[in-house]
Amino acid sequence: MAGIVHEKLIHKYYNEKTFKTLILQRDNRKCYLCGKYGDTIDHIIPKSKGGISSFQNCCCACEDCNRSKGNLSLERYLYYIRNFREASYH
């Protein structure tokens, strides 16, 4: 996570390890997507779709959810999960 001071100076607030630790602590290591234990962070708006690594755009995730969500938006991923679960019950 960094901020642009001016066009030739970028100030880095946290290194990757510290940033990850802060997100995991904030979310009590609980996966935002399924509620299980989480040890990775995920971007709510994927980086491939313009999302940035910020406290507002990152959340704790478990390995399974992080892997299966891929580059889907949070809304799209939850839509597929809900419909898949409903379809598997019928």
pLDDT given for residue 90 in this prediction: 45
Is residue 60 a contact partner of residue 27, using CB atoms and an 8 Å limit? yes
The tokens describing 65, both together, are 């959810």
pLDDT along the chain (90 residues), means of 10: 63 82 97 94 93 92 93 88 64
Question: pTM, whole model, 2 decimals?
Answer: 0.75
Gap between the Cα atoms of 81 and 12, Å rounded: 36
Gap between the Cα atoms of 58 and 32, Å rounded: 10
Is residue 62 a contact partner of residue 38, using CB atoms and an 8 Å limit? yes
pLDDT given for residue 9 in this prediction: 66
- Domains of the chain (ranges; CATH) run 2-89 (1.10.30)
Is residue 74 a contact partner of residue 66, using CB atoms and an 8 Å limit? no
Gap between the Cα atoms of 20 and 25, Å rounded: 9
pLDDT given for residue 89 in this prediction: 47
